[in-house]
Amino acid sequence: MNVQVLGCSHRTAPLSFRERLSFRPEQVTAALSSIRIRFPKAEAVLLSTCNRVELYTASENGGAPTGREAAEFLAAFHGLDPGEVIQHVYDFAGRESVRHLFYVASSLDSMVVGEPQISAQVKLAYQLATQLEATGPLTHAAFQAAAKVARRVATETAIHERRVSIPGVAVAGFARRIFERFDDKRTLVIGAGEMAEETLKYLRDQGVRDISIINRSPDRARELASRCEGRCCLWCDLFDELSAADMVVSTTGATQPIVTRRTFERVHSQRSGRPLFILDLAVPRDFEPEIGQCAGVYLYSIDDLKAECDRNRVLRERELPAALRIVEKETDRFMSDLHFRVTGPVVRQLKEMGQRISDNELQRLLNKLPDLDTRQRDEIRSSFDRLINKLLHPPLESLRVESRTGTPSSLLESVRRLFQFKD
């Protein structure tokens, strides 16, 4: 009975690798279906965000992929070299995997510590896996516990107070170095998802009013434009809007850059040297990195935010110890509950065996001593109970100790063999 995770994040792998390993929503569905076929006894949840790709697997009786098998699966799905994947991923099992999940869900491992988006992303990943019947008892327990831990961290610490989102860090840390004010700037948002809306909310708080929204699905662009008092533009107008914009925020789910250096050249020639701030929050990136070499163009990707986010983390470090204590305590509690689930059936079998032997032998003795009065019978019955309890106390106590300190697989197997228990 084990839970494990294999993955990479902004802490362990460069953006150039993460964007090749990332999963679009439809790919998550295909990957989980493929895992169910290849590892039918395994439970699985796949989390893919702009900053991390993580495959959580679990199994009560074996059958889950090993770390290497999980890495090879991810590599094969995306047509990557398994060696390259193994080089960039981390592989946690048991307590470390549960602790990592709790850490991620509580936004303690995020680029911007305390940002709210990751908790929702973890929840959605779990819900999708559940809809696809890829989850089971262990993943249900782990991800429901992770949601509880995230709530505790949010309510019992100040780590979410005055929180700064990734768009907030980008605008405050980079855009203000280029523009003194935003109320006179024309802003283009490419994409109409959750990140685009979160960015728009922040930009409007900073005074931005001239907003254009472009999305391949015009209906979603219109809906977002109506909520932020912006205007919806057609995808075919992308380069005209780029020519007119002062700031660009791009958050699409495209698999290839939507703007290359070559196609950007004609946009750049029409701008007459006006500065252009581009915040590319997409993974894979929407703008080719070479565009940032153009004069007057300030192009930032998700990884460029790391240093600014590290400064943000320093300001929140005083809250981290309290949050980490919650994570550690809840991890210990979860593992204790998990190990008890493992030992519970054997403990029950031991007690039932002892009671059955006691009842049978007691009845045989009482049948041979029909003249005993009630007090004598009760005294003999109590003696049998004490004898069985004393005989069972050492193995039961050993199982209890191991259930609190680690997975008691070897001891459990020894007890099963010693007493000839069936699974």
User: Please, are residues 107 and 150 in contact by the beta-carbon 8 Å criterion?
Assistant: yes
In this predicted model, what pLDDT tens digit does every residue of 203-213 receive, in sequence order?
888 888 899 99
Is 300 in a helix, a strand, or coil? strand
| DSSP classification of residue 290 | G
Q: In the structure encoding, which two tokens stand for residue 407, read together?
A: 């997975």
Q: In the predicted model, what is the mean pLDDT of the chain? A: 87
Considering the domain 2-160, what is its CATH architecture? 2-Layer Sandwich (3.30)
Average pLDDT over residues 174-192: 88
Which CATH code is given to the segment(s) 166-307?
Answer: 3.40.50.720
**Residues with Cβ within 8 Å of residue 54, at least 6 apart in sequence:** 5, 6, 7, 8, 9, 46, 47, 48, 104
Round to whole Å and give the CA distance between 214 and 48.
24
Q: Would 2-160 and 166-307 be classified into the same CATH topology?
A: no
Percent of the chain at pLDDT exceeding 90: 49
pLDDT at 48 exceeding the cut of 80: yes
pTM for the full model?
0.66
Domains in the chain: boundaries: 2-160, 166-307, 344-354+365-419
In this predicted model, what pLDDT tens digit does every residue of 82-103 receive, in sequence order?
999 999 999 999 899 999 999 9
Average pLDDT over residues 321-349: 83
Percent of the chain at pLDDT exceeding 70: 93
Q: Which of 183, 193, 263 is nearest to 221 (CA)?
A: 193
Q: Give the pLDDT of residue 1.
A: 63
Average pLDDT over residues 158-168: 67
**Residues with Cβ within 8 Å of residue 133, at least 6 apart in sequence:** 36
Read off the pLDDT band of 162 (50, 70, 90).
Answer: low
Higher pLDDT, 408 or 16: 16
**Residues with Cβ within 8 Å of residue 377, at least 6 apart in sequence:** 366
pLDDT at 183 exceeding the cut of 80: yes
Q: What is the largest CA-CA distance in the chain?
A: 114
Q: Which of 280, 308, 276 is nearest to 294 (CA)?
A: 276
Average pLDDT over residues 6-15: 92
Choice among 100-109, 111-120, 325-334, 352-361 with the minimum mean pLDDT: 111-120
Beta bridge partners, 300, equal: 279
Which is catalytic among the residues 50, 232, 233, 309?
A: 50
User: Please, are residues 399 and 415 in contact by the beta-carbon 8 Å criterion?
Assistant: yes
Identify which of 109-123, 174-188, 268-282 has the greatest average pLDDT. Answer: 268-282
Q: Give the pLDDT of residue 121.
A: 93
Alpha helix positions (H), 54-114: 67-78, 82-88, 95-105
Is 247 in a helix, a strand, or coil? strand
Surface-to-core class of residue 142, CB atoms within 10 Å of its CB (0-12 exposed, 13-18 middle, 19+ buried):
buried
Is 114 in a helix, a strand, or coil? coil
Q: Is 236 a catalytic residue?
A: no
